[in-house]
C-alpha cells in the first residue's frame, strides 16, 4: 500500500518528479488539488504564446520537486532539517497556490473582489488540516511564517523561493521564451543557511544576477505582454458586466458555481459569517477555467452589446487595440476616443468605459520592500546582494511603470 | 499591412514558427481555428501526464511549420513545387484536424456518433473555401487526394506525413515521455520524390526504423496508457448516460451547444438535410473542452447515481480500476464483477454496464494496409521499407491487441 | 578537508555530477584518470561529426553518475546494497575504461597488438589498488565478476550496464545525432534485482526496445559510419607502416612514449616479465591522442611515400574513398584497383596493400551470446526480453555484416 | 559535383548546418581550416569544465550558420544584400579566427609574442585569396571594415556579431554552464539595418540586456574562472621557460613546428621579411594543441626543475594555488611567498618568478569603447542601448578588475 504512494510523475520540465512522503500523495489526490489541473498557470497568455497551457497543478508539483532538492542540498551542508520539517515544507509549497481561482488576476478585480488568494489558500489549508487530522499544522506555521526556522518559510516565499524558481523555468519552457529560463539547479546548489536565514553562497552571485534579469525579461515579455494585458482587462470587464447585468435581474447562462459569484458581493465580513464562508468555499472549489470559458462563449449571443462584444473579443481573439506609453495617457486622448465611440454606438458614458479604458503596469527586477537576497561571503558573513555584487544593482531595482490605453480597433 | 501578417509565433517545440503566406494568417484568425485553442490534443491524457495540456491549435501550427521545411527540402532537390502548390499544401495541413471536436474519441462514440471527424474537416474546409473566395480549392484537392502530385497528399496524410511528425514530437515533448521523440528534422531532410510519390532516401532508413519504434512506444505508453483508456471510456459512458437521461426528459445542465448534441441523434442523413447540417455545424464550432468539463462538474450533483458516480470519477480523478490482459476477458469474470456490483447497489443490468465493461486496444507499428513507406536506394530505385531494411521489419508489423476490463475499485 | 572532496562537476549531458565518496575524488585526481582527459571517446569520429570531441574522462564521470542513480533506485526498491558495495561499484565503473589507449581500436591492431584494453584496465586497477592500500579490492571483484552479488557486475558490464547507458547518450549528444539518444533515466528507474540478477520491470520494456533500436542506429550512423571506418583503417596503416619503418632502422619523429611502442613488439608473454610489463605500463600511461596526432603531422614530410600519403590523408582529411557493400568485395575488383595503383605509382605489392584494402563491419542490435536482458513480469517472475516482448525481437537479433573496400580517390 | 558541396553537417548546438555556397565547402576542406579541428576553443578550460573540448572548427561553422540566418532575416526586412555580398560575409565569418594558434592567449605572451592573431588571420586570408583566384576579395574588405555596407562588418565584428552569438551559446553548451546561454535566435530575428548600420529592434531590447548579463556570467564563471587563469599562466611560464632553456642551448623534445617557435624570437619586423614571414606561416599552420600537450608531457622528465614542475602541474592537474582579490596583491605578501619558496628550494630570484606571480583580470559587460549597440525605436529612429533601455545600464558598463596571486600549494 505504502510504496504505491511513492509515485513517479512525468514532468516535461524536470523529467521525473518523485513523491517522497505518503501524505503528499494523499494531498495530490484531494479534489482541492485535482482542481488545479483545470486552472491554467498563465490565464490568457496562451492567446500570445500558444504553448502556455500549463496548469497550476504542474507548477505545484514542480515547486514540490525543487523544495525536495533544496532540502537535500541544505542537509548536505549540515543544516539540520528533521523529516517532519522537510515534509511540512513540501506540503507548504505544494499547497501555496491552492487558493487561486481561474484567471486569478481578473477574478480578484471582480467576482471574488473582497478576498485575496492568500486568504483563500490559508482557509483551504486549514480545512485540509482538519480532514488530515492536524497533520498540516507545521506546514501552516511555515506558510504563515510562524515557524522558528525562518529559512523554511523563505523557501516557500521570498525572492529566491521555490515558487518563482519553478514558475520562471516553467513559464519560460511552455511559452517558448527560452531566454527567460533560469539556472534553478545551480542557484539551489548554492543555497545555504546563515543565522537561520536563507542565503546564497558567493559563487552563486552571477546566477542570481542572471535570475533577476531573466525575471525582468519574463515580466515584460510574457506576464505583462501588451496583448495579455488587453485580454485580461477585457476579461475583467466581461465579468464586471455580467455581474452588473445579473444584479439588474438579467438571467445569464452560467453553471451554478459561477452564478453564485455573479450574484453575491463578497467583502471581508463574509469570512466572519461561517455559513457564508462555507458556501463561498463550496462554490469556489468547483470553479475553474472551463466555467468561465464555456459561459463566455454563450454570452457572445447575449442581447447586451457590451457583454457580447467583449465576450466575442476573447473567444475569437479579436481583442481591443492597446497602446503602451512611458507616460500617463493624457485625458484628452481618452476623451477623444470615448467621443468617437459614442458617435458610432449608442452607449451611456458608463458603458463606454467598458470599451475605452486605461491602466498601468509596473515591474521592478529586485524587490526592495521584501526581504533582501543575502549572500554568504567566503569569510562566513552575510551581505545583502547589492553590497555583494560588483556591479551597481541599484540600477536594476528601479521600478519601471508603463501606461496603456485600450479601445476597439474600429475607432482607428 | 501585408508584412503584419508574416507573424512569428513562439513554439516550445520548434522555437519560432513563421507564417509564409498571408492567407495562413487569415485562416489562423478565423474562429474555426481559434476554437482549436480550446481543444486539448490528447484529451484526458493529462490525467496521467500532467504536462500534456497542449492543444490542437499548437499541433496545427507545428505541422504547418514542418510542411514548410519539407517543401524547402524537396525544392532543394529539384522537385518542382509552385508557390501556389506550396501554399495549398500548407493550408491543407493547417486545416487537417479542423473537424475534431473536444475529446474526439469519446464524442465519436456518443454525441456526434453518426459523423466522423474527417467528414467534418472536409465540410468545414468547404465552408471556409466559400468564405475565402475559392482560395482553398487546391488545398481541398490535396487533402482529398485528388491532386495529381500525389506526394503533396502524402505530406498531409501517409505513414511519414507532417501530421504524425509533429504529433509524435509534440506529444512526447509535453507528456515528458522523452523516449517518444523522433528525429523529424533528419527524416524531413531525407525526404525526396520518386515517380510522383514521397520517398525517403536510403541513408534515412535507421531514422525511419527508430521513428516506427518511437511511435510504438508512444502508443503503449501514452495514447493507450491504461489509465487514459479507463478515463476515456468513463467519459464515453458519462455522455451516453447524459444523452439517455436527456432522451428520458431529464433536464441536465449544459450550455446550448452541448445541449443540442445531447438532444439530437445524428446519422449520415443529417448531411443530406441542409438546415440540419447547418445547425449541427453551428453548434459544433461552438463546442470545446470547456463545455464538457464545466457540465460534468455540475453533473456530479445529479440525482442519477450512474451519472454522478462517473462524473465524479473524472472530476476528482477517482477512476475505475482497469485490468489489461493479452487474452480476451472471460465472460465469467465480467459476470462475477457485475453480480458483486448488483449486490452492493440497486441497479438494473443495463445500468451495471456503465460501471463494469470491457474493451480492446490494438496497435501495429507499421501499417500494412496503408501505403508502404518507400525507400530510395542509391541506384535511384524505390523499394518498400521492409525490403530495404536489413532487419526483418515484418516482426514489427504484427498488430498487437490487448483486452481490458473496468470496474469500480469498491468491488475489489 | 573532507567536504572539499565532495565536488560537483559540470557536465553538459547530466547537468551536475556529484562525487559521493572521498576515494572517488582521489582516484579522479590520479594521473591514470587525468590522462583520460586527453583521449577522445570516439577517436576519429570527429572527422565526420565535428562536435564529437568528448573524452573518455567525461564518459567515466557520466557512467559514475548513472551508477549512483541506479544504486539509489535499487535501494529504494529494498535491494540491500551496503555503502562499501556502493562505493566499490562506483569505483569499478569509474575505472572500467582506464586501460584504453588513444584510438584504442587502431592501437589494438598495431602498436599494442598483444594486449587487450580489458587486460590493461585490470592491470592498472591492481596497481591503483596497491597505491590505495587495498581499498579497490571489492571494486576489482565486481569488475571481474567474482563478487557474489552478480547484479553489481551487471551494472558495470552487461547489455543494460551504466557504461552503454552513458556512452549512447553522450555520443548521441556530442555527435548531434539526436535520434541516438536513449531514455537512460527511465530505464534506470525501471531496474530491479531478481534472484541476484539485474532485471528491468515489465513497464520498462518499450524503453528497452527503443534503447536497442537507438543503439543499432548509433552503430550504423556513428560508430560504423563509412568515413569513420576509412579514417580508422588509415590510422591503422599509418601505425603499421611507422612500426615497419622503425623496425627497418628508419628514425621517425616521435615522443619517447610512442617510440617505445613503435620499437617493441608486444605479446602475451610481456605480462609474465615483470620488468617489461612495468616498462610497458610506464610508457602506456604517458601515451595519449596528442602523441599520435603530433607525430603524424611530422610524418607528412617523411620521404617514405606510404607513410606521408596516409599521414596527410588524416591530417588534411583527404581520406581514401570507401565503398560499402552487402556482399564480400570480389577479388577481381581489388585486383583491378591494385593494378591501377601499381601502374600509377612505383610500389611493391606489399606496399599497395596499405592503399587498397578491404574489411568488414558487423553489428547486431541484441547480443545473443551475452547475458540476456531479463524482464520482471507483474507476477514476480523473470523472462528474457525476447519472450516478454510482444513483438518478435528475433528479427532484431540478426547480426548484420557489411563489407568495404578502400582506395585512393585518384584511382577513380 | 556541385550538389556534393552543399553538405549538411551535424552540430550538437544548432542541429544541422548547411553550406550554401560551393566556395564555403572548398575553404572548409583547406588545411588551414582543417587545422582548427585540432585547436580547442577554450584552451585549458576543460580542466575545470570537462565537457569544454569543442574546437575552433566547430565555432567557425556555428558562426557561419548564424551569419546565414542573419542575412536571411535582414533580407526578409528588405535590406538588399546581393548573393556575392552574402557569400563574402559568410567567408569572412568562417575565416575570422583562422589566425588563432593553439592556446592563443598563452602563445601571444610567449612563442608568437610579436604577432597578434588578428594580423595572422588577415595574412592567412590573403594567402587563401591568392589560392582561390581572388574570390575572397570582398570577404577581406568586409573583415577589415573597408566595405561600404558597414553592417556586414558589424555582423562579423561588433558587440552583437555572429562571432560572440556563437561562442557564447557554444561555450555555454559544452561547459554545461547553462545559464550562460543566450537567445541568439531571437536577437538575430530582431536585427535590422538603419542608415547602413546594424541595429536591433526595440522589442529585442530585453533579449539584448539578457545577452549582456549572460556574457558577464560567462566571463567570470568560465573564461576568467580562477582555475583556468592559473592553468593558463602556468602554460605561459612553461613556454617561457622552454624558450629560455632553448636559448641557453638546452635541447628539448619538440616537434619541428614547435621547435621553430622556441628558437626564433618574433617581432613586428618579421612581417617585412618575406622569407621569414613565409617560414613562420609554414610552421604556424602545422602547430596545434597536440604539439604542446605532447611536448609538455615529455618535459615532465626534464632535469630543469622549473620546467618539469610546471609541466607536471598541467599534465596531472596539480595546479598552483590561486587567490583572487578585489584589491592589488600587496608586495609584502608576494615577498613573503617568494622567501618561503627560496628557503624550500634552491632557486634564483628569476626562477622563483615562475612559481610565484601575480596578475589581474578584468571584464566589462558592455564595451563603451567599441561601437554602441543601437536600438531601432518604433518611430524609426536609432538610439544607443543605454538611452533606449528603461534601466540604468551604466551600472553594467563599469569595468570590474580583480587581482590574483599564484604560488605552489606546498607553500601553504
Instruction: State which of A9-18, A97-106, B211-220, B308-317 shows the largest mean pLDDT.
Output: B308-317
Strands (E), D61-218: 191-194, 197-201
Domains and CATH numbers, chain C: 3-102+112-223+362-404 (1.10.3210.10)
- pLDDT higher than 70, residue A148: yes
| Residue D185 with chain A: CB contacts under 8 Å | 178
User: A69-91: per-residue pLDDT in tens?
Assistant: 999 999 999 999 999 999 999 99
Specify burial of residue C255 (Cβ count, 10 A radius: 0-12, 13-18, 19+): buried
Q: What is the mean pLDDT of residues C366-390?
A: 83
pLDDT at site B178? 82
- pLDDT higher than 50, residue B238: yes
CA distances from A75 to A83, A86, A152, A191, D174 (A): 11, 10, 13, 11, 30
Chain B contact partners (≥3 CB pairs within 8 A): A, C, D
What residue in D sits closest to A225 (Cα-Cα)? D203
Q: With left for phi above 0 and alpha for psi between -120 and 50, is residue B196 left, alpha or beta?
A: left
Distance between C22 CA and the closest CA of chain A, angstroms: 14
Q: Quick one: DSSP state of residue B265?
A: P
- Mean pLDDT, chain B, rounded, equals 92
Q: Which residue has the cell 607536471?
A: D312
| More confident of the two residues B57 and B365 | B57
| Residue D185 with chain B: CB contacts under 8 Å | 15-16
Band (pLDDT 50/70/90 cuts) for residue C3 is very low
- Residue D224's CB: how many other CB atoms inside 10 A? 17
What residue in A sits closest to C7 (Cα-Cα)? A189
Q: What is the mean pLDDT of residues B30-54?
A: 97
B 46-105 near D (Cβ less than 8 A): 76
User: C176-232: per-residue pLDDT in tens?
Assistant: 998 777 788 899 999 999 999 999 999 888 889 888 888 888 998 999 999 999 999
> From the list B12, B253, B294, which residue is nearest A174 (CB)?
B12
B 303-342 near A (Cβ less than 8 A): 315-317
Cβ-Cβ pairs closer than 8 A, B with D, add up to 12
What residue in B sits closest to C205 (Cα-Cα)? B217
Residues D297, C178: C-beta atoms closer than 8 Å? no
What residue in D sits closest to B4 (Cα-Cα)? D77
What residue in D sits closest to B77 (Cα-Cα)? D3
- pLDDT higher than 90, residue B392: no
Rounded CA separation C24/C5 (Å)? 8
User: C271-281: per-residue pLDDT in tens?
Assistant: 788 898 899 99
pLDDT at site A367? 66
Q: What is the mean pLDDT of residues A298-308?
A: 97
Rounded CA separation C234/C311 (Å)? 8
User: Per mean pLDDT, which range of A40-49, A50-59, B171-180 is the poorest?
Assistant: B171-180
Q: Taking chain C, what is the end-to-end CA distance rounded to the nearest angstrom?
A: 65
- Residue B291's CB: how many other CB atoms inside 10 A? 25
- Residue C281's CB: how many other CB atoms inside 10 A? 16
Band (pLDDT 50/70/90 cuts) for residue B370 is low
Residues D209, A217: C-beta atoms closer than 8 Å? yes
Per-residue pLDDT of chain D (412 residues; tens, 9 = 90+): 334 677 889 999 999 999 999 999 999 999 999 999 999 999 999 999 999 999 999 999 999 999 999 999 999 999 999 999 999 999 999 999 999 999 988 888 887 887 888 889 999 999 999 999 999 999 999 999 999 999 999 999 999 999 999 999 999 999 999 877 778 889 999 999 999 999 999 988 888 988 888 888 899 899 999 999 999 999 999 999 999 999 999 999 999 999 999 999 887 777 788 898 899 999 999 999 999 999 999 999 999 999 999 999 999 999 999 999 989 999 999 999 999 999 988 899 899 999 999 999 988 766 665 678 999 988 889 998 888 887 777 766 678 899 999 999 999 8
Q: Quick one: DSSP state of residue B351?
A: H
- pLDDT higher than 60, residue A275: yes
Residues D185, B8: C-beta atoms closer than 8 Å? no
- Residue B45's CB: how many other CB atoms inside 10 A? 23
Distance between B74 CA and the closest CA of chain D, angstroms: 14
- pLDDT higher than 50, residue C43: yes
User: C106-138: per-residue pLDDT in tens?
Assistant: 888 887 887 888 889 999 999 999 999 999 999
Residues B182, C179: C-beta atoms closer than 8 Å? yes
pLDDT at site B1? 32
User: C281-317: per-residue pLDDT in tens?
Assistant: 999 999 999 999 999 999 999 999 999 999 999 999 9
Instruction: Please enumerate in sequence order all residues whose Cβ is within 8 A of that of D90, keeping only pairs 6 or more positions apart, or say none.
Output: D20, D21, D24, D64, D67, D68, D71
Residues D34, C295: C-beta atoms closer than 8 Å? no
pTM above 0.90, yes or no: yes
Strands C321-325 vs D400-407: parallel, antiparallel or unpaired:
unpaired
Rounded CA separation C291/C287 (Å)? 7
Give every strand in the sheet of B357-363, ordered side by side.
Answer: B321-325, B400-407, B357-363
User: D22-78: per-residue pLDDT in tens?
Assistant: 999 999 999 999 999 999 999 999 999 999 999 999 999 999 999 999 999 999 999
Residues D391, A395: C-beta atoms closer than 8 Å? yes
| Residue A185 with chain C: CB contacts under 8 Å | 15-16
Residues A316, B46: C-beta atoms closer than 8 Å? no
Q: Quick one: DSSP state of residue A345?
A: S
pLDDT at site C378? 83
- pLDDT higher than 90, residue A407: yes
Rounded CA separation C62/C57 (Å)? 9
Does the CB of C209 have a partner CB in chain B at under 8 Å? yes
Rounded CA separation C68/A220 (Å)? 42
- Cα–Cα–Cα angle for A308, A310, A311, rounded to 5 degrees: 60
Rounded CA separation A311/D89 (Å)? 51
Does the CB of B250 have a partner CB in chain C at under 8 Å? no
Do residues B39 and B102 make contact, with C-beta atoms less than 8 angstroms apart? yes
- Cα–Cα–Cα angle for D247, C286, D41, rounded to 5 degrees: 70
pLDDT at site D3? 47
Q: Cα torsion at A203, A207, A210, A212 (round to 10°)?
A: -100
Does the CB of D179 have a partner CB in chain C at under 8 Å? no
Residues D392, A395: C-beta atoms closer than 8 Å? yes
pLDDT at site B368? 62
- pLDDT higher than 70, residue C60: yes
Share of chain B above pLDDT 70, in %: 96
Instruction: Please enumerate in sequence order all residues whose Cβ is within 8 A of that of A290, keeping only pairs 6 or more positions apart, or say none.
Output: A38, B289, B290, B291, B293, B294, B297
Distance between B192 CA and the closest CA of chain D, angstroms: 15
Rounded CA separation A309/A242 (Å)? 12
Distance between B247 CA and the closest CA of chain C, angstroms: 43
> From the list A57, A255, A316, which residue is nearest B34 (CB)?
A316
- pLDDT higher than 80, residue C1: no
Residues A365, D391: C-beta atoms closer than 8 Å? yes
Band (pLDDT 50/70/90 cuts) for residue B270 is confident
pLDDT at site C274? 87
Strands (E), B113-271: 191-194, 197-201
Rounded CA separation C240/C111 (Å)? 8
pLDDT at site A2? 38
| Residue A9 with chain B: CB contacts under 8 Å | 50
Residues C10, D315: C-beta atoms closer than 8 Å? no
User: Per mean pLDDT, which range of A362-366, B64-68, B297-301 is the poorest?
Assistant: A362-366
pLDDT at site C332? 95
What residue in A sits closest to B44 (Cα-Cα)? A37
pLDDT at site B69? 96
| CA-wise closest residue to A289 among A124, A111, A103 | A103
- A207, A225, A324, A391: best to mutate for the D interface, most D CBs within 10 A: A391
> From the list C34, C61, C174, which residue is nearest D316 (CB)?
C34
ipTM over 0.90: yes
Amino acid at each position: 500500500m505504502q510504496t504505491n504512494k511513492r509515485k513517479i510523475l512525468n514532468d516535461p520540465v524536470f523529467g521525473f518528479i518523485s513523491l517522497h512522503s505518503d501524505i503528499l500523495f494523499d494531498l495530490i489526490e484531494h479534489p482541492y488539488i485535482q482542481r488545479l489541473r483545470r486552472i491554467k498557470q498563465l490565464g490568457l497568455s496562451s492567446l500570445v504564446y500558444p504553448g502556455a497551457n500549463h496548469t497550476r497543478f504542474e507548477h505545484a508539483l514542480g515547486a514540490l520537486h525543487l523544495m525536495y532538492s533544496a532540502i537535500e542540498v541544505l542537509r548536505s551542508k549540515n543544516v539540520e532539517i528533521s523529516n517532519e520539517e522537510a515534509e511540512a515544507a513540501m506540503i507548504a509549497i505544494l499547497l501555496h497556490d491552492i487558493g487561486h481561482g481561474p484567471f486569478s488576476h481578473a477574478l480578484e478585480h471582480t467576482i471574488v473582489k473582497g478576498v485575496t488568494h492568500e486568504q483563500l489558500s490559508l482557509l483551504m489549508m486549514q480545512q485540509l488540516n482538519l480532514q488530515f487530522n492536524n497533520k498540516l499544522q507545521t506546514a501552516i506555521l511555515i506558510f504563515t511564517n510562524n515557524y522558528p526556522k525562518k529559512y523554511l518559510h523563505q523557501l516557500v516565499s521570498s525572492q529566491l523561493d521555490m515558487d518563482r524558481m519553478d514558475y520562471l523555468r516553467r513559464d519560460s519552457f511552455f511559452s517558448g521564451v527560452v531566454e527567460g529560463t533560469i539556472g534553478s539547479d545551480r542557484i539551489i546548489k548554492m543555497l545555504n543557511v546563515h543565522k537561520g536565514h536563507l542565503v546564497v553562497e558567493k559563487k552563486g552571485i552571477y546566477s542570481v544576477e542572471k535570475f533577476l534579469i531573466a525575471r525582468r525579461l519574463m515580466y515584460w515579455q510574457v506576464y505583462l505582454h501588451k496583448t495579455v494585458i488587453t485580454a485580461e482587462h477585457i476579461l475583467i470587464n466581461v465579468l464586471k458586466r455580467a455581474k452588473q447585468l445579473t444584479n439588474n435581474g438579467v438571467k445569464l447562462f452560467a453553471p451554478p458555481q459561477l452564478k453564485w459569484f455573479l450574484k453575491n458581493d463578497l467583502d471581508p465580513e463574509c469570512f466572519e459569517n461561517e455559513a457564508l464562508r462555507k458556501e463561498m468555499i463550496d462554490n469556489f472549489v468547483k470553479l475553474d477555467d472551463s466555467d468561465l470559458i464555456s459561459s463566455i462563449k454563450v454570452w457572445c449571443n447575449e442581447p447586451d452589446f457590451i457583454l457580447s462584444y467583449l465576450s466575442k473579443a476573447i473567444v475569437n481573439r479579436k481583442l481591443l487595440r492597446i497602446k503602451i506609453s512611458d507616460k500617463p495617457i493624457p485625458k484628452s486622448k481618452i476623451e477623444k476616443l470615448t467621443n468617437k465611440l459614442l458617435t458610432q454606438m449608442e452607449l451611456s458614458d458608463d458603458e463606454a468605459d467598458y470599451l475605452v479604458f486605461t491602466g498601468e503596469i509596473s515591474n521592478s527586477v529586485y524587490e526592495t520592500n521584501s526581504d533582501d537576497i543575502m549572500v554568504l561571503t567566503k569569510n562566513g558573513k552575510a551581505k545583502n546582494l547589492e553590497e555583494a555584487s560588483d556591479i551597481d544593482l541599484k540600477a536594476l531595482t528601479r521600478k519601471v511603470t508603463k501606461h496603456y490605453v485600450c479601445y476597439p480597433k474600429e475607432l482607428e
